[in-house]
Structure 1
Amino acid sequence: MSFLKSFPPPGPAEGLRQQQPDTEAVLNGKSLGTGTLYIAESRLSWLDGSGLGFSLEYPTISLHAVSRDLNAYPREHLYVMVNAKFGVEAMFTAMCECQALHPDPEDEDSDDYDGDEYDVEAHEQGQGDIPTFYTYEEGLSHLTAEGQATLERLEGMLSQSVSSQYNMAGVRTEDSIRDYE
């Protein structure tokens, strides 16, 4: 893995609180190997036996939790999600722009919009009409068969993303592995 780097482990000067040997690091469902996890006041670090590893400063960690859901991952583990919001908006905008370059040929209505587009600036100045929105109860009865199929597909995607959250990043210790073997 190219993102693993060699660096010294955090020491007492960095407020080392916990040092856990025999810890397996897992990224995107793939093991990085067994090493030592260092929990310091300044950063969370993991180093394998050769001195290669990763280090995360706390502002880059958006979530950490103990996961005991054996349906999501086969063992209890410490789940760590890295905060990537610094680039999320720029990545989303770039993807939207690139997707617009490749319209769906099956979508016949994409260029045939006959209605007036909603003008946010005009509405903010009190000059625009508010478009029609449906509440949850009303909206489902107004869906076409294609709309129902799309809704079911999106709900399925959401439920799958919950069960595969462990693919983001995870750390589990040899102690937790032995507990569940």
Structure 2
Amino acid sequence: MALGLRSITGEPVIDRENGEELMRVQPGVDIALANLPRESPGTLYITTKQVIWVSDVDKSKGYAVDFLSISLHAVSRDPEAYSVPCLYTQIETEADEDLNSDNSDSEESTQVHDLSIVREMRLIPSDPTQLDSLFQVFCECAELNPDQNNEEQEEEHHDWIFSADQMEDAGAEDEDYLSHNPTNTLGHSNGHQDLAHNILELQINDERFEDAEETEHEGDDSHHH
């Protein structure tokens, strides 16, 4: 699924066959993309997978963005941040590395022609009291579309946690493995078992080192007597 904002024409298309559901329809919503002037008025459609805005003035003009592309959403009521209360969103794009967000002049001139690099979207309801409920719907839909990269990182993090028993078992398995595969040395990773084995090996070596120190001290003491 492509990242970023995209242009749509006509009424919103909802993929009900794949489980997409309409969660909220909010009329009277203006939209402002990046640093461009706000567009008004329009109707906001929030589904379980995407956010869609369609102009009331020109029904053939609209924008859509998947929740997977929305990295942040928040209610903004600070007039220094924006002139009117709005629902502020940040959008992940495929061109993030190529565009300098501080260069607002080039951003404004470029984004008119290429929606895929728009990083910010503000939704401005005519009734500001609707902001909190819109924010809540955004939260619910965002939970239905978790970031797969974050999930994979969490799984990888948990996989690196070993108990003492696991390290001992993995160490025994690795000893058998190494006896049949002598070329598999410390410099070549063999997944979690190698890591556990290396940790266990370091612990064993530390214990041997401590034993050696004790023996040496005992020898020194015997010389003094």
Per the normalisation by structure 1, the TM-score is 0.49
Structure (1 or 2) with the greater helix fraction: 2
Structure (1 or 2) with the greater strand fraction: 1
By relative contact order (CA 8 Å, sep 6+), the higher-ranking structure is 1
